[in-house]
Every structure is written in structure tokens, then in C-alpha cells.
Structure 1
Amino acid sequence: MNVIYFIFQQTMYFMIPLMIVALGAMFSERSGIINIALEGIMIMGAFTGILFIHFTGSSMSGQLQLIIAVLISMATGMVFSLFHAYASINMKSNQVISGTALNMFAPAFAIFIARVIQNVQQVQFNNTFRIASVPVLGKVPFFGPLLFQNAYITTYIGIAIFLLSAIVLYKTRFGLRLRSCGEHPQAADSAGINVYHMQYAGVLISGALGGLGGLVFVVPTSTNFNADVAGYGFLALAVLIFGQWKPVNIMLASLFFGLMKAIASAYSGIPFLNAIGIPSYFYKMVPYIITLIVLIFTSRNSQAPKAEGIPYDKGQR
């Protein structure tokens, strides 16, 4: 039973940031804007959040410090995503090229600023955020050790974002308008919807969730940040495609890929896998090989928004 708890908790550490970022990408693409810049947004969000934790570590700790870092990371992601929004919406630039440029800029910027500030590119921080046991809930049989012991508040934030995303997308006027802009912006415009505003909203939401996802990825799995999020921004795009741009499917896809990443990272703590004697690099390759296989079989039946990636020109019909 302890092994089950261990695997599940490790899966949550990888699943939650992946799901958050993929949900962010969903909002952007549902508005009609492809956001390839997720990797760069994650790096920028993680960098500013971890930098805050690093400099306030001597005067602050625990959940309040983490919540403030979360807000900083989300704000950073939104500001950084504005560059992509402006290039894609106002300048009608190629959205893939714009996102790629931001992905190239983000790690270089983070490394440069880190070296200017502290002469080394790694930003160290003290992890004081793990919750050994949530009061009352941590003592509940089975579910207590599974969900409420050795946990992080970011896990519960991620679950809340998933539920909120599903409600906003399918149960609100905003969600309906966002989806209409991604499917047929001309029809949405003729119905009185400001397509540009909705696209900006979609990209900004993806920026906020991307920045948050970067911090959520780093905090439970490391005690330093080196301007790298292990390709999670690109993996989130694979999860988005596998999940067919739908919140529930994205959550299930994130759970699957999170499990694969957990096995790759913590196989030595699983007696059965450790006893097999398979080289470690094999486990590290598995999540990415499975990603390629899944994309091969799911991309043919892709249900992407019809107008995604196509610059909208209000003057054309």
C-alpha cells in the first residue's frame, strides 16, 4: 500500500503542472491563437516565483510565501504572454514563429538576470512548503495518505483550476464567446463579439496558467531553478492535442503522462521496477516515446478549433 501512495503522490507532482499549462493552452487555442510559447512562459513564471522565494527565504516561509510566489508567477506569465498576443493579434504575425522566439528568449533572459544578481545561473531556494498532513483530512483512511499527506497546496490549486476551467468554458457566456471565436470568428464578430478582446483574454489566461505551471513544476521536485522546465511546455501541447481541447480529457491525459513521468523519475523507489535491472535512461525515454506514439494515433482525429492559427482580420469576411 505504501508503494501505491508513493506512486500516486509522485504522479501528482508531475500531473498537476502539466494539466495547468495544458488548460492554459486550451483557453488560448479556443480563442483562435496557437500558443507555442508555453515553455518560455513556464520558465519566466518559475524564474520570478523562485527568485521571490530565494530573496524572502530568511524572512518568510511556508504557505503564505508560496501563495505570494504563485501570484507573482501568474502575473509574470500574463505580462510575458502579452508579447505573443500583440504579435499574433495586432501584427498578424506567424503565431508559431512568435511563440518560438519567446521560447528562445526566456531561458537566456533568466540565466542572464540570475548571473547579474548572484553570479551563478542556478537560483537556490528552501522548500518549506510540503504539508506533512492536512489537519483532520490527513487521518482519513486510504484517502488521507493518498491525497492529504506529503502534499503541496499547489495540488489543490491545480484541482480547483481544472474544475473552474470546465465551468467557465461550458457554463458561462465568456466560454461560449471564446469558443465561437476559435471556431468562426467572422460569425462571432457579426453577433457583436469583440474577437480581438476575446483572443487577448485567451492568451492572457494561458500566460497566467503557464507561469503558474512553471512554479508548480519546480517547487515539489527540486530546490533550485536552472532556467529549465524539462520540456514541459511542449509536453503540455501534446497533452492538449491528446485531450482534444476538452478539460476532462486534458485532465485524464495529464494523469497518464504524469504517471509515465513519475515512473521515469522514481522507478528506484518502486521495488518491482528496481528489481528488473533496466537501465535508468530507458525509463527517462519512456514518457517522450509514448508522447510520439500517442500523437501519431490521435492527430489524425484531431478536433482542433477550426480557426486556430489563422490571423483574424476584421475587414475580411
Structure 2
Amino acid sequence: MGKGVLLVNLGSPDSTDPKDVKTYLDEFLMDPRVIDVPYWARTLLVRGIILNTRPKKSAEAYQKIWWEEGSPLIVLSERLRDKVQEKSTLPIGLAMRYGSMSIKKGLQELVAKGVDDVLLVPLYPQFAMATTETILVLAEELQTKYFPGLKLSSLPPFYNNPDYINVLAQSIKEQLDTIDYEQLLFSYHGVPERHIKKSDVTKSHCKIDGSCCKTPSPAHQYCYRHQCFETTRLVAEKLQLKEGTYFTSFQSRLGFDPWLKPYTDRTIERMGKQGIQKMAIVTPAFVSDCLETLEEIAMEGEEIFHEVGGKDFTTIPCLNDREDWASLLSNWIENWVAHKDPLVVEA
């Protein structure tokens, strides 16, 4: 049985042309695990309102961060794939949940190389309906329809894996060692609060009341909020950060429903108004820099901070194609090949 690996990230428009951005946003926002309302309501919201106003604005945002080689997210994911491939004897593929680099194409390319046993690697440390779950559900649908002989397994969320925490903490430390800062903000991508409750396997634990994420429960296996706060806690512990010098917040909300709080933009504003002059910000829900980190945080976030009197604003890069990150992924792949728990920590 030939084994192979498919790394899967979010995706990107093919270009910064508003038409390409509109096509991408349509696929993304029409995903029922992204906007989880009835189809008619989602169609009215997305195709009746959002796609008539947002593509031009989003295209302008992409233009600010687009590289000569293309979308930063795609380029960085390709660099990571190449580094993992150098360390592995297995075929390593790359796909995106949305856009032209589809999961179907990624699976087809692996099958063409003789692969019939695939490890899916969603490039998201924390589990969420709109990230990991939508990748796994689509992959299963594609397997049933187009690849019935293909065996699929997946890398679990790795938000609390000690080796991952070591790599993440080291990447943060390298930046913090070069600057003077007063506050470190851990900014995670936001999701609607209802997503947290929908993912609660106990149907009763997640109350988003400040205590449920700290109280042990089977719900934590699929609780994005808990997993974000736990990532922050473990990194802070690893770096021996002092209480009160770091905070967790959530960015990129959409619409009027309640999303996870506190909001990143308001937290940045609050810190600046409180007299914080020097802050650093890291985005551990992303492993690759993208629109949400390069434009929303590094540009818009810095602008907010300066407008309220802040001085130094440092954006810490994602893991991207760091050598230690690529090595860690290859180690997890080797564990899978050896029929071990991929995330096992060797003594």
C-alpha cells in the first residue's frame, strides 16, 4: 500500500482581480460550516449582499500584501511543502480548502503517484468547524465519490502538543529577544459563539462564561475557544511570561452575531489608550502568514495602535517555512508511517 501526505491550508484567490476575489469569497462564504445558516439565508446574505460590496474592498486588501510570486499564503505553504518533502521519502502534496488548488486535485495528484493511503494534515493547530472540520468532511465526500479505494486518515489538532509548543514558543522568543515590549497579544481568528456550542459533544458544557474552558471536559476535544486559550497558556508557561504581560483576543469577525471575545481590534485600542507604548502580537491560529496577519494585523492593527498613542507595534511572523516546523511535520509523518500516534512525544 503506497502512503502519501496531503497538507491542506485555507486557500487564496488566484489573483487580486476583484473577479477572482469574488469567485474565492463565494466558495468560502457559501460553505455551510463557515456561515452556518440555512442555504436560502446564506445565499441571500452572501450572494445578495456581501458579494455585491466586499470583493472590491477585499481585492484592495490583497493588493497590499500580494507578493511578486503570488499569494503569500500559497507561496509560504509551497515552501513548507518543499521542505517537508526534502525530509520525507513519501509523496507530499499540497491543497487548499478553497480556490483552484483544490483538495480533489491534491488527492488526484497523489493517486497518480501510486498512493492509496493518505494522511491529511489540516494546517490548523486548533479544531474549528470552519477550518479542520470542513476539510475532513469535504475529503470524505470526495473519497466516497471519486476515490473509493483510497484510505484516509488525518492529523489531529496539535494545539497542545509539546513539540509544537516548543517550536511556536521558540519562534516567538526569537522575536521578543530583539525588541523591548510591554504587552504580548495572542490574536486568534474569531468564530461565532454559536460554533462553540454546536461543537460541544456534551451539549451542555460550553457556556462561554469564563470558567468552562478551564474546567476539564470531553467538550474540549472540539472546543476552539478552549484550545486557543490553552495554546496561550502553554506558550506563556514555556516562555515564563509574567501574568498581566500577555493577553488572548480574537480577530476577523463578520456580521452582527456575537463572536468570541475579546475582539483584537478593540484590545489593541484599549491597550494604546491605557498608555501602553510598546506591544507585540502573534497569531497562533495561523501557521502561514496571510491576509489576516499581513494586512489585518500588521497594517490595520498597527494603524489603530498608533492612532490611540501607541508607539512600537511588532508583528511576530507565523511559523511559515521555518526549518524546525518542517522537521516537526516530517517527524509526525514518520510516526504515522510507523503506525504510531502521529503526535506522540518520544522519550
TM beyond 0.5: no
Name the one with the larger strand percent.
2
Name the one with the larger helix percent.
1
Q: What's the TM-score, normalizing by structure 2?
A: 0.24
Q: What's the TM-score, normalizing by structure 1?
A: 0.26
Higher relative contact order (CA 8 A, sep 6+): 1
